[in-house]
Amino acid sequence: MPQISVVAFMSPTPGKEAELAQVLQELVPPTRLEQGCLRYDLLREPECGALVFLEDWESREAHQAHKATPHFVASRARQEGLVAARDVKILELL
């Protein structure tokens, strides 16, 4: 099982930038404690205001388990109406 990296770009709905940032920031502490999480950082792209997660996981299975955690599921529900566009790339370490 190869290690994977995830790059997730989220463009906020206009006027919802601060609210989306808060919702996403709340994901960071519990996710960093998950088994298989090697890196989970939230960054902001200054020019367009996009929020970007840079993630490293021990395996694709660890990432799949993350997406089923209560804090992730609850966060996705709270993101409704806050995200104008989302683009997630999953990359395998060679």
- Tell me the pLDDT tens digit for each residue of 8-53: 999 999 999 999 999 999 999 999 999 999 999 999 998 888 999 9
Which of residues 58 and 93 earns the better pLDDT score?
Answer: 58
Helical (H) or strand (E) element with 18 = helix 17-25
Cα three-residue angle 17-87-71, rounded to 5 degrees:
65
- Tell me the pLDDT tens digit for each residue of 49-84: 899 999 999 999 999 999 999 999 999 999 999 999
- Ranges of beta strands (E only) in the chain are 4-12, 37-44, 51-57, 83-92
Which domains are assigned to the chain? 4-92 (3.30.70.100)
Helical (H) or strand (E) element with 66 = helix 60-67
Q: What pLDDT was estimated at residue 57?
A: 97
Q: What pLDDT was estimated at residue 93?
A: 73
